[in-house]
Structure 1
Amino acid sequence: MGKPPNVYTFAGVAELAPSLRAYVLSAQNAAIERHGTFRVAVSGGSLPKTLAQALLAKSDGSSGDVVDFSKWEIFFADERCVPLDHEDSNYKLLKDELLDKIPKEEVGEPKVFPIDEQYLDDAQEMADQYEKALVSVFAARDSVKLPLFDLLLLGCGPDGHTCSLFPEHPLLRETDAWVLSISDSPKPPPKRITLSLPVVCHGAKIAFVATGGGKKDIMKKIFETEEGRALPCGLVNEGAGEKVSWFTDAPAVEGVSVPRRGSL
C-alpha cells in the first residue's frame, strides 16, 4: 500500500457537515470539469442524513461552493431487494432525507438510478440488471474493466462491513463482476445487491462517514490490528490508500490511533 487514508475528525456531526460539503463539492467540480457529469455511489444507514445536512446547507456564495445537482448521477453502492417505498430501502432513505428536499429550481435535479422492482424475488437477476445500468452509463463492458465512480460515499458497520460486503464473506473474493447479489446477509433483509470490492477501490475518491461512540471499537480494530485490515472497510483502506478519506467525530475515534488530518 502507498500512502494511508486521510482521517478527518470533528467535534460532532454539525462540525463535520461543512467539511464533508467542501470535500464533495471539490470532487463534483473536478468531475464536471473533467467529463461534464458527477457520478456518485451512495450507501444507506446514517449517511443520507449527514449528507443532507452537508449538501442542503446554504452556499457561502463562492463559485466553488455551488451544488449543481443537474450534473449528478446517483447510484446505490448497495441496495436491499425490497420495494422502493419499503422502510429498508436505501433509495427511500435517500429520497426522504435528501432527494425530496432538494430545491430543484435553484440547484437542479439529479438523475437517480434505483433498482428495478420487477426483480425483487431474484437477487442475482437484480444484480445483473443493475450492472447493465452501470454498463450503459460507464461504457461498454468490453471497453472498460471497471466503472470509475467520481465519488463513493460509504458507511462503516459495527462489524466493519461496508456496502453489503460483510466480513469473511465469499463475495470479498469476487474480482470480475461489478455488481454482486447476496442472499444470506448477516443483517436483515437477507437479499441485497452490492458493488464489488474492486469497483469500490477503483473509485476516484472514496469517503467513509463514521460517527458516534458506537463506532469506536470497530475503528480501533480497522486502524490498529491485522485482523481489522482484513475487514471490508480495512480492505478498502488497503486497496485504495490515499484515495480514501474518513470523516469522523471525536467519539468515533476516541483512543484510536489513526493517521489524523486536522482539516481538508
Structure 2
Amino acid sequence: MARDLQAAQEFYGTVFGWEFRPTRLGEEFTVALLDGVPVAGIGALARSLAVPVAWTPYFAVDDADVTAARIRERSATVAVGPLTFGTGRGVLAADRDGAVFGIWQGLTIPDWCVGRDKAPAWLELRTRDAFDAAIFYAEVLDWACERPDCCQVTYEHDRIVLRHGGDAIAQITGGAVEAAPDPQIRPRWHVHFYVPDIDYAVRAATKLGGGAVTPAEAADTTATVTLRDPDGGLFTVAARPPGDPRPPH
C-alpha cells in the first residue's frame, strides 16, 4: 500500500523493471508485471489514514470467514474484513506479536507461487518466538496438515522453513525483536525480491528518494540488501544463486 500510486509505480518500475496494468478493483489498485508475468499488487492508501506504507504478504485460504475466526480465537487481530473485492474476499490481520499479513479467498494466478519464476523470492517473518509464531500460522492457515497440497514446516539452520512442493517459500526467525514502534525492529513480514544486479537496485532506489537501510549481507550463498521506498516501505533485494531458481534454504 502506497501514499502515491503513480510515484510508487515510477519507483518500483525503475528499481525492478516492472510494468503496471489496472485491476478490477478500481483505479486505486494496480498489478505489477515483470516480462508480462504478474508479480505483485500496489494499492493507494487514503491520505487521511495514519498507517505506515508497507509490503504485506497475502496467503490463499479456502474460507476467509473460517480463517478470520481462527485468527480471533487465537487472540490475534482482524483489522479489516472479510470484505469482497472483485474476484474474491480479503482480510487484513495481525498476529499476536503485531506482524501484519493478509488472507485471500478467491481467484488467484494459476501456478503462481513465491519462489518461482518471476514471483517474489521468498517471505521472512522476523519475530520474538519463532516456534510460537509457527504454531499460530500453522493453526490459522492449515500448514503441516494431512492434505497432499499442504505446506510443510521444517526446522533448518536455526530457523523455521515453510516449503510447498519442495520449494522453500518462507522462513520464520526468532530473537530479541524489540517492542518499540520502529518498523525496522518490531515483528513483521519481509518480502524478498530477486534482482539481476543489487548495486543497480540500490542506486536506482537512492536516486528516486529511497535508499539502503542495511549494508549488503550474505544469506548463505545469496547477497541481500534491505531497501526503503520514498514513503518508508521496506523490502529486501537478493541476488539469485547461480543455477538455482529457489531461495537458499
Give the TM-score, by structure 2 length: 0.29
Higher normalized helix content (fraction of residues): 1
Higher normalized strand content (fraction of residues): 2
- Which structure has more relative contact order (CA 8 Å, sep 6+)? It is 1
